[in-house]
C-alpha cells in the first residue's frame, strides 16, 4: 500500500514545504495538494516539484469545469515534465456551489464532462491533432459556434509521458462505475472498508468488466484524518471529525439531494443519516453530530491508539485499498511528522499470518 500525505488548501504553504521534504525522507510515496476555491493547486505543485526529489505529486482535485480539457492536459504535461515524471492528475466534478457560484460555469452533465476530459487529455499527451466531437466537449469549435478559423492542433512540446496517471474523485454508483472503467485511480470519500462493498461493489464490478486491460489494476486511493495516541486529544479529534461528518451528511445539499447522506444510506446507515439531516437542517448542529453513527466516525478515520489504527489499516488493505493518504491532526509540524512516521512504521510491519 502506498502512503501519502495531504497539503490542504487552507494550510500555511511555507510551513508545509519543509514538512513535505521531511516526510519524503521518512518514506512518503505521494503528496496530494488540494484545491477548492482557494489558491490554485498547480502553482504549489510546481513549487513542490522543485523542492522534492522522489515523491509522486498529485492534484486532489482539479475540477473539470474550471479549466478546459486541453488546459488540464497542458497543465498535467507541464507538471509531469518539471517533476521528472512524478505527477498524477486527480480530477473531479466538484459541485454546483463552486462551479456556478465561484467560476460562473453551468454545472451540467458532470459524468460526460469527466469522461470527455479524460479522452481529450490522453489525446493531447499522445500529441494527436485535437479533433474531438463529444456531447459536451467540441474541439475545434464548429463554424456555427465560433469564427470558423479553428483547426485541430497538437501539443507543441513532447510530453515526458503519454500516459500520465489519472485518478477521479467519484461517489455515486454511476460515477464510480465510470471511474473503474476509464481511470487509473479512484478517490472515494468517507470510505468505510467493512461496508464499501454495499455502497460500491456492483458499480466497481461493472466498471472493471468494461475496463481496458492496458490500464492495469484500479488504484483505490483513500484519504483519512490521522491521530495516534491516547487521552483527551483523541476525544477532541473524534468530536471535530464527527462535526465534519454531520456537516456533510446533514448539510451538504437539500434533504433529497445530498450525495453524502445517500452514501450513508448505501452503507446501511440510512435511518441514522435521516436523523442527522433532520437535526442539521433544523439548526441543531450539536444534535446532528450526536446522531452520527459511531461506526461511521471510527471506520472512516484513523483516530485511536496504536492497536486501533493497526486494525483499521488491516481493514483498509483487506477491502482493496492500494493508496492511503493521511491528514495528520497533530497541532505542530513536528507532531504531524511523528504521526506520519508512526503510521509508516505500522504499514511496514509484516502482515499477520492467515488463520
Q: What is the pTM of this model?
A: 0.95
Distance CA 116, CA 139 (A): 11
Where residue 231 falls (left for φ over 0; alpha for ψ -120 to 50; beta otherwise) is left
3.20.20.30, 3.40.50.800, 3.30.300.30, 3.50.50.60: which CATH number matches 2-226+307-348? Answer: 3.20.20.30
Where residue 106 falls (left for φ over 0; alpha for ψ -120 to 50; beta otherwise) is beta
Give residue 188's pLDDT band: very low, low, confident or very high (50, 70, 90).
very high
Classified as helix, coil or strand, 177 is helix
Residues 159-175: tens digit of each pLDDT:
999 999 999 999 999 99
Region 118-127 average pLDDT: 98
Where residue 157 falls (left for φ over 0; alpha for ψ -120 to 50; beta otherwise) is beta
Distance CA 329, CA 237 (A): 7
Say if residues 16 and 331 touch (Cβ distance below 8 Å): no
Residues 14-53: tens digit of each pLDDT:
889 999 999 999 999 999 999 989 999 999 999 999 999 9
Please name the residues in contact with 63: beta carbons below 8 A apart, sequence gap of 6 or more. 35, 91, 92, 93, 94, 98, 99, 103
Asked whether residue 309 carries a pLDDT value surpassing 70, the answer given is yes
Domain-by-domain residue ranges, the chain? 2-226+307-348
Where residue 283 falls (left for φ over 0; alpha for ψ -120 to 50; beta otherwise) is left
Q: Among candidates 104, 135, 124, which has minimal Cα distance to 166? A: 124
Please list, residue by residue across 72-89, b when 16 or more beta carbons sit within 10 angstroms of its beta carbon and e when fewer do. bbbbbbbbbbbbeebbbb
Q: Among candidates 319, 273, 317, 326, which has minimal Cα distance to 296? A: 273
Which has the minimum average pLDDT: 53-62, 180-189, 251-260, 296-305?
A: 251-260
Residues 221-250: tens digit of each pLDDT:
999 999 999 999 999 999 999 999 999 999
Asked whether residue 283 carries a pLDDT value surpassing 80, the answer given is yes
Helices (H) and strands (E) in the chain — how many of each? Answer: 14, 12
pLDDT at 9: 86
Is the torsion defined by CA of 92, 96, 97, 101 positive or negative? positive
Please name the residues in contact with 268: beta carbons below 8 A apart, sequence gap of 6 or more. 195, 198
Give residue 254's pLDDT band: very low, low, confident or very high (50, 70, 90).
confident
Please name the residues in contact with 346: beta carbons below 8 A apart, sequence gap of 6 or more. 306, 309, 310, 313
Asked whether residue 148 carries a pLDDT value surpassing 70, the answer given is yes
Whether cis (ω within 30° of 0) applies to the bond prior to 140 is: yes
Asked whether residue 302 carries a pLDDT value surpassing 80, the answer given is yes
Amino acid at each position: 500500500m502506498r502512503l501519502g500525505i495531504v497539503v490542504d488548501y487552507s494550510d500555511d504553504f511555507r510551513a508545509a514545504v519543509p514538512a513535505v521534504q521531511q516526510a519524503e525522507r521518512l518514506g512518503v510515496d505521494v503528496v496530494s495538494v488540494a484545491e477548492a476555491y482557494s489558491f490554485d493547486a498547480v502553482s504549489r505543485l510546481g513549487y513542490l516539484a522543485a523542492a522534492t526529489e522522489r515523491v509522486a505529486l498529485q492534484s486532489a482535485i482539479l475540477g473539470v469545469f474550471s479549466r478546459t480539457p486541453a488546459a488540464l492536459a497542458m497543465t498535467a504535461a507541464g507538471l509531469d515534465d518539471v517533476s521528472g515524471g512524478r505527477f498524477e492528475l486527480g480530477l473531479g466534478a466538484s459541485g454546483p456551489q463552486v462551479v456556478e457560484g465561484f467560476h460562473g460555469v453551468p454545472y451540467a452533465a458532470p459524468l460526460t464532462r469527466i469522461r470527455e476530459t479524460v479522452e481529450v487529455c490522453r489525446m493531447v499527451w499522445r500529441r494527436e491533432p485535437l479533433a474531438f466531437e463529444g456531447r459536451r466537449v467540441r474541439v475545434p469549435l464548429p463554424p456555427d459556434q465560433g469564427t470558423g478559423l479553428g483547426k485541430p492542433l497538437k501539443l507543441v512540446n513532447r510530453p515526458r509521458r503519454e500516459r500520465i496517471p489519472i485518478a477521479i474523485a467519484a461517489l455515486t454508483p454511476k460515477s464510480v462505475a465510470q471511474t473503474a472503467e476509464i481511470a487509473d485511480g479512484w478517490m472515494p470519500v468517507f470510505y468505510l472498508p467493512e461496508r464499501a462493498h454495499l455502497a460500491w461493489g456492483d458499480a466497481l464490478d461493472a466498471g472493471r468488466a468494461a475496463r481496458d486491460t492496458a490500464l492495469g489494476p484500479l488504484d483505490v486511493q483513500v484519504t483519512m484524518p490521522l491521530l495516534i495516541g491516547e487521552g483527551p486529544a483523541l476525544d477532541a479529534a473524534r468530536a471535530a471529525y464527527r462535526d465534519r461528518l454531520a456537516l456533510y451528511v446533514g448539510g451538504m445539499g437539500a434533504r433529497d439531494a445530498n450525495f453524502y447522506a445517500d452514501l450513508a444510506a448505501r452503507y446501511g446507515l440510512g435511518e441514522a443519516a435521516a436523523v442527522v439531516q433532520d437535526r442539521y437542517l433544523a439548526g441543531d448542529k450539536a444534535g446532528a453530530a450526536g446522531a452520527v453513527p459511531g461506526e461511521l466516525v471510527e471506520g472512516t478515520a484513523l483516530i485511536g491508539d496504536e492497536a486501533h489504527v493497526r486494525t483499521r489499516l488491516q481493514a483498509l488493505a483487506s477491502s482493496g485499498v492500494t493508496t492511503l493518504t493521511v491528514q495528520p491532526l497533530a497541532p505542530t509540524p513536528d507532531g504531524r511528522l511523528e504521526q506520519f512516521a508512526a503510521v509508516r512504521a505500522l504499514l511496514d510491519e509484516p502482515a499477520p499470518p492467515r488463520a
